[in-house]
Amino acid sequence: MYRTDTSECHKSSGSRLSRESGSLSYPVEVRIGSPSFAGGRAPTGLGQVEYRLARDSVVRDFHKGRLSRIDVCDAQRELLRVAEHLGHETEIDCPICEEAHLVHVTFAFGPGLPPSGRALGHNREIVGLARANPDASFYIVEVCRQCSWNHLVRMFTAAAARRRPLS
């Protein structure tokens, strides 16, 4: 039920070294050049974390019956509102209801931004904010407006956003 404390076994790469087995475990997959950066291409290079493995695990548990629809379709009204007005529709079908396309919403967090983050709608907003606020972090969340599925897709730093050419 409880995990062993591995805080002393962190490696500099962000991976964890298990005391019991001595093997490395990676909580997320890192991908370079992944799609869906506010409707365009994602920034490339360092400073980007992909959460696809965690997402796939939740979807797999739902399809195996370990999680109910109530457990996974829990988007708050504010997230659904932002997805409706600022989100970028993708060609990806919802993995839960399989009836609607997912929408990607980008949020920025950092110094000088509201504590609840700032929803961004266009590439130029993302790149402009990354230039103005080098400590900002950006998060892309996928949302199904029909069944309320939502999951974090990717996080990237301001440095990664600045390296990305505008399309």
Domain boundaries, given as residue ranges, for the chain: 28-163
Q: Which neighbouring-strand residues pair with 157?
A: 137
C-alpha R_g of the chain: 17
| Model pLDDT, residue 41 | 52
Section 105-124 average pLDDT: 92
Strands 88-93 and 35-37 turn out to be unpaired
Q: How far apart are the first and last CA of the chain?
A: 47
CA atoms within 13 A on the CB side of 8: 3
Q: Which neighbouring-strand residues pair with 108?
A: 118, 138
pLDDT tens per residue across span 62-111? 999 999 999 999 999 999 999 999 999 999 999 999 999 999 999 999 99
Residue 40 burial (CB count, 10 A): 15
Question: Phi/psi class of residue 131: alpha, beta or left (left: φ > 0; alpha: ψ in -120 to 50)?
Answer: alpha
Q: Are 119 and 139 in contact (CB under 8 A)?
A: no
| Model pLDDT, residue 123 | 84
pLDDT tens per residue across span 2-24? 444 444 443 333 433 333 444 33
Least confident of 27-31, 36-40, 55-59: 27-31
Sign of the dihedral defined by the CA atoms of residues 159, 42, 85, 82, in that order: negative
Section 110-114 average pLDDT: 93
What does DSSP assign to residue 123? H
Looking at the chain, the whole-number percentage of residues with pLDDT higher than 90 is 63
Q: How far apart are CA 76 and CA 146, in angstroms?
A: 13
Per-residue confidence band for 124, with pLDDT thresholds at 50, 70 and 90:
confident
